[in-house]
């Protein structure tokens, strides 16, 4: 399941991170090169801190996509290895719909992404507006 979800998440993450990396001015890297910094030092000490909001936002998008995905686990997992979105489908039955269990599962599914977004909300705002103004 991890490999299947990564085949969709990695191309999206690369596409999203490319725009953040393109926003880093080349002049900063050239200045560090003139000062004698190696490529690894430039990436670690200059580029990564500048694109950190983009990395966090991309990671959060990838997590939410994988967390809420029900199509692949529905087809590729069995009853013992079902994910939470697939497990909630068990509450729809021929005898009726158990709305209380569905509501409880929905709340349980919302808590981890909500805690992550609340903990990293300052990066979300900075990361989503990072490439919005060019000039």
**What is d(CA 52, CA 126) in angstroms, rounded to the nearest whole number?**
10
Dihedral sign (CA 9, 11, 12, 16): positive
**Nearest alpha carbon to residue 67 among 124, 113, 14, 16:** 113
- CATH topology assigned to domain 2-128: MetI-like fold (1.10.3720)
In the chain, where are the structural domains located? 2-128
pLDDT tens digits along 25-59: 899 999 999 999 999 999 999 999 988 888 998 99
Which of the residue ranges 23-27, 70-74, 89-93 has the most confident prediction, judged by mean pLDDT? Answer: 23-27
Query: Across the chain, what does the average pLDDT equal?
Result: 85
pTM of the model: 0.76
How much of the chain, in percent, has pLDDT values that exceed 70? 92
**What is d(CA 92, CA 109) in angstroms, rounded to the nearest whole number?**
17
């Amino acid at each position: 399941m991890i490999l299947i979800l990564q085949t969709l998440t990695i191309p999206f993450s690369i596409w999203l991170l490319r725009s953040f990396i393109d926003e880093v001015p080349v002049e900063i890297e050239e200045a560090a090169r003139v000062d004698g910094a190696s490529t690894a030092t430039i990436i670690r000490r200059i580029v990564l801190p500048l694109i950190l909001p983009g990395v966090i936002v991309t990671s959060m998008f990838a997590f939410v996509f994988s967390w809420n995905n029900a199509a692949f686990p529905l087809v590729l997992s069995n009853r013992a290895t079902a994910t939470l979105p697939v497990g909630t489908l068990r509450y729809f039955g021929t005898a009726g719909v158990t709305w209380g269990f569905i509501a409880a599962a929905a709340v349980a599914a919302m808590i981890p992404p909500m805690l992550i977004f609340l903990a990293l909300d300052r990066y979300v705002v900075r990361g989503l507006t990072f490439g919005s103004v060019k000039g």
